[in-house]
Amino acid sequence: MIDIKNKTTKELETIAGDIRNRIIDVVSRNGGHFSSTLGAVELTIGMHKVFDSTNDPFIFDVSHQCYPHKLITERWEEFETIRQFGGLSGFTKPKESPYDYFVAGHASTSISLAVGAAKANKLSGGSKVPVVMIGDGSMTAGMVYEAMNELGDLKLPVVIILNDNEMSIAKPIGAISKYLSKLLAGKSYQGFKERVDKFIRNNLPEGSLYLAKRFEESLKLITPGMLFEEMGIDYIGPIDGHDIEEVIETLTLAKNFGKPVIVHARTVKGKGYPIAEGQHEHWHGVGPFDIKTGKFEKKEGAKSATAVFSEALYELAKKDEKVVGVTAAMPSGTGIDKLMSEFPNRFWDVAIAEQHAVTSMAAMAKEGFKPFVTIYSTFLQRGFDQIIHDVCLMNLGVTFAIDRAGIVGADGETHQGQFDISFLRFLPNMTLVAPRDSRTLELGLEFGANLGSPCALRYPRGAFKELPYLATPFIHGKGEVLKTGASNIAFIGYGAGVSRAIDTANLLDIDITIVDLRFVKPLDKELLTELSRQTNKWYIFSDSQKQGGVGSAILEFLNETKIQIELVTFEYEDIYIQHGDTKLLEEDLGITPKQLATKVKLS
């Protein structure tokens, strides 16, 4: 544990430099979250100086900015393994360290956690003060305001650090605003405000109370804190989030308030690494790069599924003005950025608001448009109720383009795309389809655009393996036999699982029938019935959860039809998949083609 408590401001500034250098060194070699975490160094040091990390819950929203916290809390040497298989997580993780309060990887949960922790503290008679660090991007999600609404009513002691590194909640107005913000933060003003409020309530008529209240509100109008104050949460700031002395002084004031308070801190993304300073999305999460030049390692290879999707949807949008689309804070990650640039009136980024994204597109479908909701598998979970209630119930033609389906690697448990088949398959009116390669992805988008009812199309992170089979247009609920074998064994692949089935079959001296299921809902019952006449042992290949997944769907069909088939599914077991290199994770899960071939031989 780095000694923060007993250090002078100058010593803390030296520690901040050491922390930045460590982050730059390790991330330049391993990759990881970068600009946000560099910008949060002084704020994190201030948290550890003012609060007790062994007692007070330290809650990092999303927690991609937690690297300084990890380095301060006994993980300096182990930091070398950040986001590596078997190493440190890139997010907070209680199993990793007692100083990590909660698992975090999705945005906008922190204030809700702090409210819960503060309630528990009050009931148990404790002395804990939950302290939250939340980026301004996370303030775009409704869950934050639900939490603040209750917190402002309960008046429980919670300190929220608003790490403003991309945009202001409201633009301050010059020197007057800065002066008033500091004035509002001071002990003298806070004490004066309480005394005046008490005196007015007890001694002055209603009209005077109104005038006094209006005067105070007129001051807040030229500060960014009015929104929070109206919700019952005190506001301090903006402060310089890189001035350690100011950070410590302000956090000390906030802690002593004994009620909810927001500290608005201005920071610079990438602080301490000039090439990345002020650069937003480009340096948020990075691969290995050269520290001197800032140039990333070039990776030669096939075009990613995301890039194929982006280009194919662009072509559809050029031909059909009814094609529209939305993403939730991931324009470049989902490939929608190109379409937003070319068709700004038809493609939108609604920020971290998956629920709104889904429901708004439901209305567009009702109005005759062909909307694509483009969201990572892990984040689509956040719009689950809206998919049920606003899309499927109305049987509206919304296509869900589900990026990062399957294993995504270093981001780990909170980001693996393993659940989308399971949570979408039981919804009435929903069609589930998956392409096996780039060309069938293009055809899948055409199918979704013209279906006229809810459709979910999943594809993996990275590139498809291109396969030597003719790509034919999708027909609703129809699969495809790619190869008919002479044995009693059939390999049934779904999506990217088709290539794994083929690779596994190539390692076996068995003439195996290979099927591209294409649809897991509705199933091609005619194809499966005919397949049962030719084979009696089926193996399922799909990058998805076993419970409620592809194998489960086929077992339901077999049970209904009383067809006797021995079925083995190679889907993910009932676990959360850890972080690490995708190939290492697949080996750990026992699903590499070589491992699967051995399992087939032994079964």
For residue 396, what is the domain's CATH number?
A: 3.40.50.970
Residue 466: inside a domain: no
Name the pLDDT band for 221 (thresholds 50, 70, 90): very low
Same-domain pairing of 208 and 231: no
Residues 132/111, Cβ–Cβ less than 8 Å: yes
Q: Is residue 472 part of a domain?
A: no
| Average pLDDT over all residues of the chain | 91
pLDDT digits 0-9 by tens, 496-524:
999 999 999 999 999 999 999 999 999 99
Per-residue pLDDT at 214: 53
How is residue 244 written in tokens?
């350690």
Average pLDDT over residues 395-423: 97
Q: Which band of pLDDT confidence, cut at 50, 70 and 90, is reported for residue 137?
A: confident
Residue 134 shares a structural domain with residue 197: no
Of the chain, the end-to-end C-alpha distance in Å amounts to: 51
pLDDT mean over 289-307: 88
Model confidence at 176, pLDDT cuts 50, 70, 90, reads very low
Are 490 and 544 in the same domain?
A: yes
Band (pLDDT 50/70/90 cuts) for residue 144 is very high
Give helix then strand counts, H and E, for the chain: 24, 19
- Provide mean pLDDT across the span 59-80: 96
| CA atoms 487, 488, 494, 496: torsion sign | negative
Q: What is the pLDDT of residue 209?
A: 56
For helices 593-602 and 497-505, the axis angle rounded to 10 degrees is 60
Q: Which of 354, 442, 571, 586 is catalytic?
A: 354
CA dist., res. 370 & res. 373, Å (int): 10
* Confidence at residue 223, expressed as pLDDT on a 0 to 100 scale: 57
Is 571 labeled as catalytic in the residue annotation? Answer: no
Which pLDDT score is estimated for 136? 73
| Helix-helix angle 550-561:525-534, to 10 degrees | 80
Mean pLDDT, residues 588-593? 97
Does 296 fall in a domain?
Answer: no
- CA neighbours closer than 13 Å in the CB half-sphere of residue 187: 7
Does pTM top 0.85 for this prediction? yes
| Paired tokens of 248 | 């410590």
Give a yes or no: residue 176 inside a domain.
yes
End residue of a domain, out of 257, 286, 315: 286
Residue 115 and residue 253 in one domain? yes
Residue 382 pLDDT level (bands cut at 50, 70, 90): very high
pLDDT tier at 204 (50, 70, 90 boundaries)? low
- To the query of whether residue 269 is one of the catalytic residues in this protein, the response is yes
588 and 503 in a single domain? The answer is: yes
| Spatial distance between the Cα atoms of 455 and 402, rounded to a whole number of angstroms | 10
Same domain, 336 and 440: yes
* 260-286 mean pLDDT: 87
Q: Are residues 22 and 59 in the same domain?
A: yes
Contact between residue 355 and residue 145 where contact means Cβ atoms under 8 Å apart: no
In this structure, the answer to whether residues 438 and 555 fall within a common structural domain is: no
pLDDT of 179 over the 50 cut? no
Check residue 59 and give its pLDDT: 97
Instruction: Return the CATH number at 521.
Output: 3.40.50.920
The confidence score (pLDDT) of residue 282 equals 78
In a domain, 270, yes or no: yes
Say whether 299 is catalytic: no
Asked if the structure places residue 314 within a domain, the reply is: yes
Contact 144, 135 (CB under 8 A): no
Winning range, highest mean pLDDT, from 157-171, 215-229, 521-535: 521-535
Give the chain's radius of gyration (CA, Å). Answer: 27
Per-position b or e across 225-247, b if 16+ CB within 10 A of its CB: bbbbbebbbbbbbbbebbbbebb
269, 271, 346, 461: which is the annotated catalytic residue?
A: 269
Residues 527 and 410 in one domain: no
* Reported confidence tier of residue 28, pLDDT bands at 50, 70, 90: very high
Q: Is residue 291 part of a domain?
A: no
Neighbours of 481 (CB within 10 A): 16
| 383 lies in some domain | yes
Question: What's the token pair of residue 382?
Answer: 């956040």
State the pLDDT confidence band at 549, using cuts at 50, 70 and 90: very high
Domain encompassing residue 566:
480-602
122 and 253 fall within a common domain: yes
Domain shared by 93 and 116, yes or no: yes
pLDDT in tens, 415-460: 999 999 999 999 999 999 999 999 999 999 999 999 999 999 999 9
pLDDT at 205 > cutoff 80 = no
Per-residue confidence (pLDDT) for residue 169, from 0 to 100: 41
Does 180 share its domain with 269?
A: no
In the set 382, 436, 500, 546, the catalytic residue is: 382
> Domain total for the chain?
4
Rounded Cα–Cα distance for residues 349 and 110 (Å): 23
With pLDDT > 70 as the criterion, what percentage of the chain qualifies?
A: 90
The reported pLDDT for the residue numbered 198 is 64
pLDDT at 185: 55
